[in-house]
Amino acid sequence: MLRKIVSLCVILSLFVVSSVAFAQEPVEIRIMADLVDAQVTVYNDIIADFEAANPDIDVVLDVVPYDTITQTLPLQLETGVGPDIIKSTDVTSLAPYYLDMRPYLPDADYWDANFGPTIAVTNIPGSGNTALSAIYSDVTVTGAFINRTLFEQAGVPVPSDSGEPVTWEEWEAAAVAVRDATGVDFAMGLDRSGHRLMGPAISIGATYLNEEGYPDLANDAGFRAFAELFVGFHERGSMPEDIWAGGDGARNGRDEFINGNLVFYYSGNWQIGSFAENIGDAFDWEAVPAPCGAQTCTGMPGGAVFAAIAATQHPEEVSRFMDYFASEPVYREWAERTLLAPQHTALVAAGLNWDTELPQALKSLDVFAVEAGNISPIALALFSSPNVGPVYNATRDRLTQVIVGELTLDEAMERIQTDIDTGLAAVTGG
């Protein structure tokens, strides 16, 4: 009998131990994000610190190509599957899939006080604007960079050094002169992105939206004028076809600029961290003020958010990680180490101590700080419009077809509008 009692005690003790071990198995939450260079390192450091303080949660970071976020992820979310947290530039369109973390946050007032612009753009119009779902990974402004070393080698003055506004045509002439004098391959590059087209097009005179707030590019003379200029850059060889005709989806000229093979590169402030890490002081690079058109000189605002997804099986744990990332010291670390502009009222007011002493990076950060205050009202309205989603791919893909000779510009303008109308009808059910 004693042996049976002992055996039973052993069995029960094993059951208790295994039950405790099972109960302590950490909850796994997955984050899908397109991160580059130092961003991966910094985010993994933040995850490691969080996991050390929260051993009941295992955070898995899946770093994926940008096209996975824009093309594959929406299909996953439609079927109710996918990651627990995403990083996406399609901030407004994906709002129906976001989790409202407000019931799970210990101090929702902190979010209300510091993330007002984020809350505004991540809530579905008419929803009451109260859900707390996301935090910006970075606030962006599109703009241009130059390789000053190449200008100096060519003996060509940098147009913006005069302090006067510089037109796109003036930058083209200068960049071509530098390319020809130095023997590098490319004069100008602009990311293959409909978003990247917007600032330049608005500068030329595009409005994109009509008085009712609907994208009406078929009747947008300013966009047509920009499209002619942009196609002309490629026809004259000022811009290489490699970027815009080299494949589907988003493409950029970052590597060519990093390799010192591109004179003038139009992209945005999110490149500063990458350039600081991958170029350093190998040559003098810097941001320059937004090129000008007949109407204005403006970049295009944008950014990406880390957003919690409503389909998660672990809303409390997801909210706990998001709240940790949103805390002022952690969010400060993220911004300062990645050189990405944050959206946090108190943090911005206090100022940031960028984690770099590189003069090129510091000068570029200063330039973009000024440019952020010079954004055209048209660009701001376009950024916040709920109708802008289909415009990005329609303008990008149809202008590509003009550049490679598949469509005339007249045909492209017609198809851009058809694509936009079809895309918006699919969203609204019209």
Q: Quick one: how far is CA 114 from the chain centroid?
A: 20
Q: Quick one: how far is CA 290 from the chain centroid?
A: 18
More confident residue, 246 or 395: 395
Q: What angle do CA 396, 399, 401 make, to 5 degrees?
A: 110
Token digits of residue 376:
């055209």
pLDDT in tens, 206-263: 999 999 999 999 999 999 999 999 999 999 999 998 889 866 666 788 999 999 999 9
Q: What is the mean pLDDT of the chain?
A: 90
> What does the pLDDT read at residue 70?
82
The 3-state secondary structure of the chain, one letter per residue:
CHHHHHHHHHHHHHHHHHHHHHHCCCEEEEEEECCCCHHHHHHHHHHHHHHHHCCCEEEEEEECCHHHHHHHHHHHHHCCCCCCEEEECCCCCCHHHECCCHHHCCCHHHHHHHCHHHHHHCCCCCCCCCCCCEEEEEEEEEEEEEEHHHHHHHCCCCHHHHCCCCEHHHHHHHHHHHHHHHCCCEEEEECECHHHHHHHHHHHCCCCECCCCCECHHHCHHHHHHHHHHHHHHHCCCCCHHHHHCCCCCECCHHHHHCCCEEEEEEECCHHHHHHHHCCCCCCEEEECCCECCCCCCCCEEEEEEEEECCCCCHHHHHHHHHHHHCHHHHHHHHHHHCCCCCCHHHHHHCCCCCCCCHHHHHHHHHHHHHHCCCCHHHHHHHHCCCCHHHHHHHHHHHHHHHCCCCCHHHHHHHHHHHHHHHHHHHHCC
> Is the pLDDT score of 24 beyond 80?
no
> What does the pLDDT read at residue 117?
85
Query: For residues 94-132, b (16+ Cβ closer than 10 Å) or e, as one string?
Result: bbebbbbbeebbeeeebbeebbeebbebbbeeeeeeebb
Structural domains in the chain plus CATH codes: 28-139+302-350 (3.40.190.10), 140-299+359-428 (3.40.190.10)
**CA 222, CA 297: separation in Å to the nearest integer?**
14
**CA 419, CA 427: separation in Å to the nearest integer?**
13
pLDDT in tens, 397-416: 999 999 999 999 999 999 99
- Sort strands 262-268 and 301-308 into parallel, antiparallel or unpaired: unpaired
More confident residue, 115 or 124: 115
Lowest-pLDDT choice from 104-118, 229-243, 252-266, 416-430: 416-430
**CA 110, CA 101: separation in Å to the nearest integer?**
13
Cβ 84 vs Cβ 31: under 8 Å = yes
pTM equals: 0.84
> Is the pLDDT score of 430 beyond 60?
no
Stretch 174-179: mean pLDDT = 98
> What does the pLDDT read at residue 149?
98
- Percentage of residues in the chain with pLDDT exceeding 90? 75
